[in-house]
């Protein structure tokens, strides 16, 4: 069976037989998989009244462990978005009463973001549904195939410069 990328690669082979489109096949499939997976994740989070970035921030706070609190700077590092974007996102989560924001009493220049009880309840509930969805999305691959794919993607990411630089949640 062929996928959409096979069809495009066949076109390239006819039009430009002098080049090997194999790299386009790998990158194209990663891009298409990303778009298809993101659509499913976005739809799933929307059923819970969340956007992907909201789940990401709430999940980051939950993963940090009790008291489910990080500085705004730690959230910037964990999410890889700008401090301006984090400020806007925190404002929106505060308005939804999913997090609180307070000045760090030990460092008045730092702001602490804490998961509220309702925020924790929501992310605890959504993460179960999220993991179930991801398992269903990957069901076309066996367990060993999923492990192999994860390893190959890890190698690709490292080759692209995505190295672990330490845990921003535990500096």
Q: Domain of 103: which CATH number?
A: 1.10.10.10
102 lies in some domain: yes
pLDDT at residue 171 in the model: 46
Paired residues of 100 in beta bridges:
114
Verify that 93 and 29 share a domain, yes or no: no
Please provide the DSSP assignment of 108-158 as one string: EEEEEEEE-HHHHHHHHHHHHHHHHHHHHHTTTS-HHHHHHHHHHHHHHHH
Q: What is the pTM of this model?
A: 0.84
> What residues make up the domain containing 16?
1-47
> 51-98, pLDDT tens digit by residue?
999 999 999 999 999 999 999 889 888 876 777 888 899 999 999 999
Asked if residues 3 and 12 have their Cβ atoms less than 8 Å apart, the reply is: no
66, 129: one domain: yes
CA distances from 124 to 7, 51, 59 (A): 42, 15, 8
Query: Are residues 115 and 76 part of one domain?
Result: yes
Same domain, 56 and 132: yes
CA contacts within 13 A on the Cβ side of 7: 4
Is 157 domain-assigned?
no
Q: Per-residue pLDDT tens for 18-55?
A: 999 999 999 999 999 999 999 999 999 999 999 999 99
């Amino acid at each position: 069976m062929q996928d959409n990328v096979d069809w495009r690669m066949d076109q390239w082979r006819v039009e430009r037989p002098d080049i090997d489109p194999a790299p386009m096949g790998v990158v194209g499939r990663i891009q298409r998989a990303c778009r298809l997976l993101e659509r499913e994740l976005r739809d799933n989070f929307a059923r819970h009244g969340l956007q992907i970035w909201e789940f990401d921030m709430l999940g980051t706070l939950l993963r940090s462990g009790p008291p489910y609190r990080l500085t705004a700077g730690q959230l910037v590092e964990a999410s890889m978005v700008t401090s301006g974007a984090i400020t806007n996102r925190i404002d929106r989560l505060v308005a939804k009463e999913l997090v609180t924001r307070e000045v760090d009493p030990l460092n008045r220049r730092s702001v602490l973001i804490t998961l509220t009880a309702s925020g924790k309840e929501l992310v605890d509930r959504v993460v179960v549904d999220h993991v179930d969805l991801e398992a269903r999305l990957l069901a076309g691959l066996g367990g060993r195939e999923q492990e192999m794919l994860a390893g190959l993607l890890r190698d690709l990411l490292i080759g692209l410069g995505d190295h672990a630089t330490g845990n921003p949640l535990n500096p």
